[in-house]
Structure 1
């Protein structure tokens, strides 16, 4: 069903969807099991959103990594989950008088001074907050694929265009990357819609669990509905799959953040397309997948 179909068809469609088989075609080389996506890199084993976490995911043979993008005071895009530097760097020690240590209040050069690894363990002392350019180059080096989250877009007007510009400059908007190696997602529907309008070829994802009645509107601009695993059911996943996204394929579901085998098997049984996890090796083993090279 195309998203522009009349709303009166929604109720009937959902009834059909609840009875539909969970399996459907995916735009990846694995059709049997959900994709395993390393959340902030392999963040159970290396400091999140660092190049070391990308390396660890590659070492584990994980093809997909997820990251978060924020913007500095001077307009540089950096990879960090929180809008504050406090939790994952030594910013309080380096800049003790600049609380609350928001990313947007620091220049890229100032952030480059920070240690983003010691909090996780001494083995990672000296790891840095990567720029988006550095991050995508490392992902490309490992022939991996990227689920990129635009974080807190309300704090950074225009970040969607800037993110796409970096991706373009780094070669990530060519046909090969766009066809199967890149998804841009956000908790903000407006941000996802903006990405779709700026670069319609780019695959997008909305983070959240919209009501089924709202899915026709989301299917106009997003290819994925990516909810927390605690909000999922077999019926909801089937209902999402019943709608066709902007690229003419069924909407997909990647769920987060699943770190144990039982939950991995549960959501796989719902028919999800991807599982976002801090422990990609645990999830992969639970799904019965064998370790392999990250490239593909």
Structure 2
């Protein structure tokens, strides 16, 4: 079989997988929702904030001040007056569609119901709820992907070592995994966070360090199967070192279940972060996160449902 035939076969397999995937309507809806949330997190500065996207003031043009830096604006004492500044002659400001900062407080507008000014109302400190949800998406999605990235890295390394070498190495790592799984991960995260300063970085690291056992077991099982295949035996016979066999030959063929597990892991990490923030162990206020928003709103649900 020529190289062209192999490439054609790979392309046809990918097309077949994609066609089968498209037939799964719930899966397509899930992918669409993840993409929407990812776009909201990525473009949060363009969707919500009191800093204009493009503005002209005093014959100076500011491009993307909401993304690049606040330094020049703060130097001119403009930043804290954006919510009241109106362009004069020859000036303009192109603001995000939700022109409110997730941190800016206005006690005169506290607990305002949904309306033209605030589409989802305001919280107990007069902050725009929709703006906080948009920026909370960035926090929650960041926690999900980075925490799962840490868990995947640890799980791949330990699972690959256990599955490839077997014997005493496999037994030692497998016993460690089983002991780790016996401890409820959420309570372990709460216990560790109780001794650490609440921060987004600590949350990512702790969730990542507690979420690897399932991935390690998946990788171990795949390596036990893949190392018996003919290509792995041929790689050993050709004299390749263990590191090259593991990372260049076995690992690419063992990643399929890891991707599936990582997908669910992102959702689990987001729920864990929300739960931690709701219990007071998560992202410190006034930073907006989904759990923090729920925590702050629970006292007002009876008379201010928004």
For normalisation by structure 2, the TM-score amounts to 0.24
Structure with higher Rg: it is 2
* Bigger fraction of residues in helix: 2
Relative contact order (alpha carbons < 8 A, sep ≥ 6): 1 or 2 greater?
A: 1
**TM-score relative to the length of structure 1:** 0.25
Structure (1/2) with the larger strand percentage: 1
